[in-house]
Amino acid sequence: MSTAARAAVIRKTGAPWVIEDVEVATPREDEVLVRMVGTGICHTDMGCKDGHFPVPMPIVLGHEGSGVVEAIGAKVSKVKVGDHVVMSFDSCGHCHSCDAHLPSYCYEFYPRNLSGMRSVDGSATITSKGEALNAVFFCQSSFATYAVAREINTIVVDKSLPLEILGPLGCGIQTGAGAAVNALGIKKGDSLAIFGGGAVGLSALLGARAVGAGTVIVVEPNVGRGKLALELGATHVINPKETADVLAKIKELTGAGVHFGLDTTGIPAVIAAGVEALLPNGMMGLLGVPPPEATVPANMMSMLVRGIGVKYIVEGDADPQEFIPRMAGWYKEGKFPFDRLIKKFPFDQINEAAQSSLSGDVIKPVLVF
């Protein structure tokens, strides 16, 4: 028996979200039904809405959901009714990457997270007056009052934590913090330059600080975000609008360069500066979405003589079942204040919340149900 719900639906590329009455399917044997409490808005949601990522329409987006488990399928064993949970991305659980605890590189990542229907049979989890809507977005479609997820992408969290703001741990915050901690493997005393002080960049800063990084430089043109970066533990902030040569400034501040770099902008010229700022054996992590025609602007001889690397990172190289509780633990210990990035909005104000992020006024909007 389906569950009556309300969902924010996009029926045409570029159109605003419209709240509609819908029906959410009963969970299958490996699925869970979650009553939503909060969900973050990510730039990926807005990119899909506006046609920058190809997704089928009409669609229910949302992939940073948190809530309470209302029902479980017959084969679900690690999640029970009443659990507080965060939902992350889906994965097959049995390919080479999944076996290596790198589910963000699952061989079935795109059909499972972006196709709009269940990957096993193409069925819908959300309908509207009998019409099948594309949902199953990151195996949740959390822009709705109820969501269907799979056990594999549903993570139980401590009930003492503020559930309504935990959703972004499932994607944006996981992507930034995981890039620093998992993908780059930053350790105590290592130096890092972060290009872009949005939700992902500042989450990388928080992750680096949680593991005791040394010098952390944030390159960010928004003055307010730069100020927040300093409050969150950045040792230096460089405003590229006020600094003629960002690369020279990084070398001036550090004496020679940094061990690691992270780009969240996807801008080739910014990445070029980051690559040249690396010390020998350094690594540049790329997180930003580039223009389709862009190539990595790195001089190979310069890379050779320093032995450096460049790597695109997906979802922070995280295994959500392990990394989300780890971040939640850091938060509980007071050394991962991701709540400083968040502003809450009522679910009905989804369009206003999204615009606040696009304008730069809000770092991470979270819709509260």
pLDDT at position 76: 98
Report the distance separating Cα 217 and Cα 95, nearest Å: 37
* Same domain flag for 31 and 163: yes
pLDDT at position 53: 83
- Cβ neighbours, 10 Å, residue 241: 9
C-beta separation of 182 from 104 below 8 A: no
Q: Which residues pair with 184 in a beta bridge?
A: none
* Same domain flag for 20 and 103: yes
- Give the CATH number for residue 50: 3.90.180.10
C-beta separation of 37 from 68 below 8 A: yes
Count of structural domains within the chain: 2
- Residue 29 CB partners (closer than 8 Å, separation 6+): 73, 74, 75, 76
Report the distance separating Cα 364 and Cα 48, nearest Å: 17
pLDDT at position 54: 85
Q: What is the mean pLDDT of each run of 10 residues along the chain (369 residues)?
A: 95 96 97 98 94 92 98 97 98 97 97 94 95 97 98 98 98 98 98 98 98 98 97 98 97 98 96 98 95 90 97 98 98 98 98 95 97
* Same domain flag for 156 and 227: no
Q: Which residues pair with 306 in a beta bridge?
A: none
* Same domain flag for 96 and 222: no
Element of type H or E holding 99 = helix 96-99
Q: Which domain holds residue 121?
A: 3-170+337-368
* Same domain flag for 181 and 267: yes
* Same domain flag for 162 and 222: no
* Same domain flag for 268 and 129: no
* Same domain flag for 67 and 153: yes
Residue 324 lies in a domain: no
- Give the CATH number for residue 220: 3.40.50.720
Residue 325 lies in a domain: no
C-beta separation of 9 from 20 below 8 A: yes
Report the distance separating Cα 231 and Cα 202, nearest Å: 11
* Same domain flag for 291 and 357: no
* Same domain flag for 187 and 82: no
Residue 320 lies in a domain: no
pLDDT at position 151: 98
